[in-house]
């Protein structure tokens, strides 16, 4: 399946002027141009949440991997654990080790390709890493952050989170996105797939009771962000 979408958003240059600008060591000629408003702007979302995207049975199946895959304590920026920033346990669901999990990768890519084509038209090449299964216990959280960092995480363009736990079984542990003026809590219902650009500030609020399980992954591109 091709996941590259051709942008259907067209902007026009409506005002262009040439300026001479003096820099420290030289004079440069630069063009400053303004682009038109585009009616399609209204359709660009900050995030997309698809409730009931994964069925209860599919969530049950994904949850069985938590006991099959070795757990690590959540890392940040691929490095040492900083519990004040992130306190969760993670399991990398690698396709090589679990080829029967390919349907999860396919299902995620199917929805990401569709949602990307409808909203952002980012140039995507594939998964930036394996799927990550994350578990938060009381006290667990992940403070405000962006998913783009240096090295390979700089290739991330879209972040994906799937709510695996029944919302009745835990308290706290909400995924919040700060994409507009105010943080917005994502739907908590089991099987919800949330997709957002990886530059979006987000967090997981502190857990106070129970266990929250989520599936997290990133779709990226080999080229710069566009």
Ligand X SMILES: O=C(O)CCC(=O)C(=O)O
217 neighbors 132 (Cβ within 8 angstroms) = yes
58: helix, coil or strand?
Answer: helix
Choice between 3 and 214, CB closer to ligand X? 214
- What per-residue string of b and e applies to 60-78 under the rule 16 or more CB within 10 Å gives b? eebeebbeebeeeebeeee
Shortest Cβ distance from residue 28 to ligand X (Å)?
41
CA atoms within a 13 Å half-sphere pointing along the CA-CB vector of 63: 17
Q: Give the separation between CA 134 and CA 88, rounded to whole angstroms.
A: 7
Residue 178, SS3 per DSSP: strand
Q: Provide the token pair at 16.
A: 């262009």
The residue among 195, 174, 171 whose CA lies nearest residue 184 is 174
Shorter beta-carbon distance to ligand X: residue 105 or 187: 187
Taking the least distance from each CB to Fe ion, the nearer of 135 and 147 is: 147
Three-class secondary structure of residue 151 per DSSP: helix
**Structure tokens of 22?**
């003096």
| Residue 147 is a binding residue for ligand X (CB under 6 A) | yes
For position 214 contacting ligand X by CB under 6 A, the verdict is yes
The entry of ligand X, Fe ion, none near residue 124 (CB within 5 to 8 angstroms by kind) is: none
Q: Count of alpha carbons within 13 Å of 136, Cβ hemisphere only? A: 31
3-state SS, residue 8: coil
Considering CB distances under 5 to 8 angstroms, the limit depending on partner class, which of Fe ion, ligand X, none binds residue 134? ligand X
With CB under 6 A as the rule, give the number of residues binding ligand X. 9
Contact partner, 207, from Fe ion, ligand X, none, Cβ < 5-8 Å per class: none
User: Which of 3, 104, 175, 219 lies at the binding interface for ligand X (CB under 6 A)?
Assistant: 175
Q: Which residue, 123 or 156, is less far from Fe ion as judged by CB?
A: 156
| Choice between 37 and 75, CB closer to ligand X | 75
Of residues 135-174, those binding Fe ion (CB under 5 A): 147
Q: How far is the CB of 32 from ligand X (least distance, A)?
A: 37
Least distance between ligand X and beta carbon 134 (Å): 5
Residues near ligand X (CB under 6 A): 134, 142, 147, 161, 175, 202, 204, 214, 216
Residues near Fe ion (CB under 5 A): 147
């Amino acid at each position: 399946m091709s996941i590259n979408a051709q942008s259907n958003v067209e902007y026009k240059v409506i005002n262009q002027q040439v300026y001479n600008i003096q820099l420290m060591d030289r004079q440069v000629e630069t063009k400053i141009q303004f682009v038109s408003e585009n009616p399609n702007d209204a359709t660009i979302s900050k995030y997309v949440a698809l409730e009931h995207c994964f069925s209860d049975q599919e969530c049950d199946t994904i949850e069985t991997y938590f006991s099959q895959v070795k757990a690590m304590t959540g890392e940040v920026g691929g490095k040492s654990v900083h519990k004040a920033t992130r306190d969760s346990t993670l399991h990398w669901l690698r396709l090589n080790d679990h080829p029967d999990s390919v349907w999860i990768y396919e299902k995620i890519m199917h929805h990401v390709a569709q949602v990307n084509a409808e909203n952002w038209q980012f140039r995507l090449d594939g998964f930036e890493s394996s799927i990550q299964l994350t578990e938060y216990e009381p006290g667990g959280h992940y403070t405000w952050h962006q998913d783009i960092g240096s090295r390979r995480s700089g290739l991330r363009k879209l972040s994906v989170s799937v709510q695996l736990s029944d919302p009745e079984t835990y308290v706290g542990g909400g995924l919040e996105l700060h994409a507009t003026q105010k943080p917005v809590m994502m739907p908590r219902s089991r099987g919800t797939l949330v997709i957002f650009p990886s530059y979006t500030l987000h967090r997981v609020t502190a857990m106070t009771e129970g266990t929250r399980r989520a599936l997290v992954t990133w779709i990226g591109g080999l080229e710069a962000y566009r």
